[in-house]
A and B are shown apart, each in its own frame.
Chain A
Amino acid sequence: MSATPLILILGLMILILTAVLGLSLRQVKKIRASLEKLKRSFSELDDQARLIIKTDLELNTTQEELDKRLSGLDALQKISRLISTTLDENEIFRRLNHSVLTELGFERFLILMYDAHHELRSCLSLGYSQEDLEGLIPFLTRNEPILRLLNEHQIVSSLHFPGLDRNELQRMLRAHAFVLTPIFEQKETLGLLLAGSHSETFSVTEGDEELISILADQISQAIKNAKLFEEVYRTSQSLESKVQERTRELTATLEELKRISSAKSEFVSAVSHELRTPLTSIKGYASLLMAGKMGEIPANVHDRLDKINKHSDSLVRFINELLDISRIESGRVAMQRSPQNLAPLVEGTRDLLTPQMKEKNIHFLAELPAELPQVFIDPTQIERVFINLIGNAVKFTPENGRITVHAVTDEDSVTVGVSDTGIGMKPEEIASLFSEFYRAENVINQNVKGSGLGLVLAKKIIEAHGGRIWVTSVPGEGTTFSFTLPLKKETEKD
């Protein structure tokens, strides 16, 4: 029952009772006091109600904001997990489904992204009907004030709508409560995200703005990652394609080179054979003439014949070297390898070259360790290497110089060095030293004839043994040729 009429009725009743029943003044006072008490109680009820409402409003506001924050953060975490595990831009939007997005408290979402022509296009629409979108998308894509604010990375919402008409926004965005935020990466605006709710009781707070803004950042980051991945993938694909193309080119070039080299070897081999036969006849006839088998010849003719003989020998050596190189290159010469000591080969070479060394008073030292193991080599071919290298050393070492042959053992090979105290070489000369027909430009080479094939042949022989050869040299101080030789057969290696 209502309080005021009740009090009036009771007051009236008191008057009637006082008059009719002849109540005492004390009794009347008592009833009045009760009435006053009742009035106060009703008044207190209203006071309590006011206090409860005030507290309830404050509590609800706080609780709602807290609930919103907690579930919003939870939803953002889920969304982050969903979209950060894909590197496909379209898949990012596919994974943003309604059930997870509505946990942010909004039930309508629209994402527009700029395309390559800087046109906004819809990438995601949830909770909006086709009819809604037909009005909404043109409104957003053509609304200069909104786009300007978004480009300045400002949020437009039903809470903050600088310079805009909120009622119009609510009508056009089909949402009573809304947050419209830019999706941007550094300074570039990539698109926009609209979250809306039709609930008339939903009031957007700064917390909502923050949540939607974080969602936009997550989307931006995911898109950035997807783009980076795509870029890296494309670059890697392009590089791989280039590498494959270059490999194909190199393979083709190599094949062509092999073909040319093979043709060259065959040509050299054929020409050498053709040259050697007439040369043998020339040399034979010259020898016959010199021996007087065709009758006495004058001294001056003898001298000319002697020159023919000597030049024929040089030409034969040259042709033989060419043939050897050609044979080794084509694999027609197999190395007859067996375990051998190096010392006899070095001594044999020293004996062979002793006259030349004596002529220039060159001191020869063979510093081979006593415990030097046997090497697995073709002794005839390796002896040719020694003759070539020591012979060169003799040629380029001035009088009273020194030539040293030394060796060290490695794990599975022996490294042999032939050092001299000769004129040495410049670095640019070293680079071409093992090229066919190359002869370093120096005074000695100008006076002494050579084919330019000796070092090439030595290199071929060493490589045919599975070793390698190299040079170190200091102009004016001397040169060291080093090469390695295997200790065992390749098949015996561990």
Chain B
Amino acid sequence: MPLQAGVGFSSHPNVLTAAQEAVARAKAQLKKEHVDAAFLFNTAHYDPKKFLPILAQSLNPRCLIGCLTSEIIIENRFEPAGIAVLLLTSDQIKFESGRVSHLTVQDLRAAGKTFVRNCLSGLGISSRKLLLFFIDGLIETPSAFLGGIKEEFGRTIPVIGVGSSAPLRHQKTYQYHLDEILSAGACGLILSENCRLGMSCQHGWKPLGQPRKITGSRDNVILTIDHKKAISIYEELLGGRIPAWDKTRLDNVALRYPLGLQTASGQGYVVRNVTAKLDDGSIVCQDKVSDDTTVHILLGNKRSCLQAAEQAAYEVREQLGGTPPRLIFVMESLLRRSLLGRSSAQEIRLIQNILGETVPLIGMCSQKEIFATLPGKSSEEEIHNSSLMILAIA
């Protein structure tokens, strides 16, 4: 039996009713009693402590993972409030899940390794196809965590990660594994055996101005660019429109003009959102940056973002080699979603037009997009901001 997927959503004001409705609708679409794996997304309006234990007990799946998100993507729309459930069953795909917690107080590389070992513990010798994981979006440099994962999991097997998100930045987020609620943690699911995957990560941003080089950095903070204080890149190009950034607020201008780090191949750019300006003129990014990386200010608009989504969907379709997908995951950056605004739904429809309008589709708004699907790239290049990831399983 190939993969069967059922998606359910509810925004009933009562938390338990919403959870029950979402499960019932997912089961109705699944048309099977047996559940191998379950995914769960909820917005901040629904307290996981109230529904997760009951939901996990009633479903009793071998694997259950999920996280908090600022918005849920369901069918062809964005839902700012609700609970979404995805149920999977298949006798051709094996699922195994695991978790790790307390990421803020341990070495992230080591934590990444532990996380993979936990996920692999029940898998045996099955051939691994994909690791999909959710990590607390507030972890500032998940590249070290990803490095640990790759060391343990292997560098040739695709790894896709998503940073959980809350309506307000710096608001606590949660990750779920079975009936456990984690914060500052990660939970993941390994798919093995017989399945075909299509995946892509695109953003649609274009570089502006002359190339500049990062001449001083520390983790996710750029100290200097071209030996000048880092903020000079914005001062020189934006002039009087420099935003009054602070630690908790991301200004519209910074969102509209993130930084682009040129990849080692020189073929593209990894987006880094800028979240704050420090007193010494340094700027804080959403993930790790390195010295000697060529950097640009990026420009994006709705059209270029939609084109990128279209390109991502075509790439996924090509990878599936004509096999129709049975499930589509869409992970949309929270900030990209803000930029697209009312065009976000159009983006989802574009993806459905290309991959199939009747295929169950579920997704979430993410704080970070981790896309490690090709060997030979540095972990830093695999951590994205303001990007869109599509994963299709056939």
Q: CB of B155 within 8 A of chain A?
A: no
Max chain A Cβ within 10 angstroms of own Cβ: one of B13, B46, B255: B13
A432 contacts the other chain (CB 8 A): no
Task: With both chains docked as a complex, state the minimum distance between the C-beta of B196 and any C-beta of chain A, in angstroms.
Answer: 34
Q: How large is the interface on B (under 10, 10 to 19, 20 to 34, 35 or more residues)?
A: 35 or more
Q: Does B16 contact A (CB under 8 A)?
A: no
Residues of B near A2 (CB, < 8 A) are: 211-213, 215, 226, 294
User: A77-99 toward B: CB 8 Å interface, digit per residue (1/0)?
Assistant: 00000000000000000000011
Residues of B within 8 A of A131 (CB): 47
Query: How far is B208's CA from A42's CA once the two chains are assembled, in angstroms?
Result: 11
Interface-located stretch among A28-36, A46-54, A291-299: A46-54
Instruction: State in angstroms the CA–CA spacing of A105 and B44 once bound together.
Output: 19
Whether a CB of chain A sits under 8 angstroms from the CB of B342 is yes
Q: Most chain-A CB neighbours within 10 Å: which of B46, B167, B299, B338? A: B167
- On whether the beta carbons of B237 and A105 are closer than 8 Å, the reply is no
- Say yes or no: A200-B210 contact (C-beta < 8 A), given A5-B226, A64-B341: no
Indicate whether A16 reaches chain B with its CB closer than 8 angstroms.
no
Q: A108-B80, A198-B70 are in contact. Are A3 and B342 (CB under 8 A)?
A: no
Within 8 A of A (CB), among B214-234: 215, 226-227
Surface stretch bound by B, among A122-130, A155-163, A411-419, A446-454: A122-130
Whether A404 is near chain B, meaning CB under 8 Å from some CB there, is no
- Whether A56 touches B299, Cβ cut-off 8 Å, given contacts A42-B210, A127-B80, is yes
A203: B residues at CB distance < 8 A: 252
CA distance A131 to B49 in the complex (A): 14
Q: Judging by beta carbons under 8 Å apart, are B338 and A49 in contact?
A: no
Cross-chain contact A1 with B294 (CB below 8 angstroms) = yes
Q: Considering the complex, which residues of chain B in the window 221-251 have a beta carbon less than 8 Å from any beta carbon of chain A?
A: 226-227, 236-239, 241, 249-250
Partner of B297, one of A43, A48, A49: A49
- For the complex, would chain A's binding face be called helix, strand, loop or mixed by DSSP majority? helix
Contact of A1 among B44, B213, B299 (CB under 8 A): B213
Q: Taking A46-B209, A127-B45 as contacts, is the C-beta distance between A200 and B249 under 8 angstroms?
A: yes
Task: Given A67-B341, A71-B342, A198-B167, verify A60-B256 contact (CB < 8 Å).
Answer: yes
Tell me whether B349 is interfacial, beta carbon within 8 Å: no
| Residues 112-140 of chain A, each 1 if its beta carbon lies under 8 Å from chain B, else 0 | 00000000000001111111100000000
Residues of B139-197 contacting chain A, CB below 8 A: 167-169
Q: In the bound complex, what is the Cα–Cα distance between A81 and B253 (angstroms)?
A: 38
Chain B facing A: main interface SS: mixed
- Inter-subunit contact B252/A45 (CB<8 Å): no
Task: Provide the bound-state CA to CA distance between A129 and B249, in Å.
Answer: 22
Q: Are B236 and A53 in contact (CB under 8 A)?
A: no
Q: How large is the interface on A (under 10, 10 to 19, 20 to 34, 35 or more residues)?
A: 35 or more
Distance in Å: Cβ of B387 to nearest Cβ of chain A: 16
Question: Does B257 belong to the interface (CB within 8 Å)?
Answer: yes
Q: How far is the CA of A50 from the CA of B213 in the complex (A)?
A: 19
Query: Closest CB of chain B to A177's CB: distance in Å?
Result: 11
In the complex the two chains form, is A52's CB within 8 Å of B339's CB?
no
Any A CB within 8 A of the CB of B81: yes
Which residues on the B side are within 8 Å of A49 (C-beta)? 208-210, 237, 297
Bound-state CA distance A176–B250 (Å) is 11
In the complex, whether B17 has a CB less than 8 A from a CB of chain A is no
A491 near B: Cβ within 8 Å? no
**Is A282's CB within 8 Å of the partner chain B?**
no
- Which residues from A are CB-within-8-Å of B297? 49, 53
Contact B237 A126 (CB under 8 A): no
Given contacts A5-B226, A50-B239, contact A198 B168 (CB under 8 A): yes
A-B contact pairs, 28 of them (CB 8 A): A1-B211, A2-B213, A3-B226, A5-B226, A43-B210, A45-B210, A48-B209, A49-B208, A49-B237, A52-B208, A53-B241, A57-B253, A57-B256, A60-B256, A98-B11, A98-B80, A102-B80, A103-B342, A105-B342, A107-B81, A126-B81, A129-B44, A198-B167, A200-B169, A201-B250, A201-B252, A201-B255, A201-B339
Other A-B contacts than A53-B208, A71-B342, 14 sampled, CB-CB below 8 A, are A1-B294, A3-B210, A5-B213, A53-B241, A64-B341, A107-B80, A125-B13, A129-B47, A176-B168, A198-B70, A200-B168, A200-B169, A201-B252, A201-B335
